Amino acid sequence: DPDDLALSCDIDGEVMQDGRTSRLIFSVPTLIEHLSGVTELYPGDIIFTGTPGGVGNAREPKRFLQAGEVLTSRIEGVGELRNTFRDA
């Protein structure tokens, strides 16, 4: 059910964000309907919807990514994406 998938994000295994698509302001079908009305969507397109609570800037103390840390983002039934950060 795309309207109730688990979403999560961790840094080096520490969970930072944990939510569900059922908590989005607009349902997944509504987002797709709106976007397809203004642009053509193709298989593999990614739709950014915002983020669950837990963003580093809103934490106390604040938490920002550091060089060498691995950020893993997951969507239930879709997969995960890992990014290793480095100094610019």
User: ∠55-2-51 over CA atoms, to 5°?
Assistant: 10
Check residue 1 and give its pLDDT. Answer: 84
Check residue 5 and give its pLDDT. Answer: 93
User: ∠31-35-37 over CA atoms, to 5°?
Assistant: 125
Q: What is the per-residue pLDDT across 32-87, written as a single tens digit (0 to 9) for each?
A: 999 999 999 999 998 888 888 888 888 889 999 999 999 999 999 999 999 999 99
User: Nearest 10 degrees: CA dihedral of 58, 63, 65, 66?
Assistant: 160
Check residue 8 and give its pLDDT. Answer: 95
Q: At 6, give phi and psi (nearest 5°).
A: -75, 140
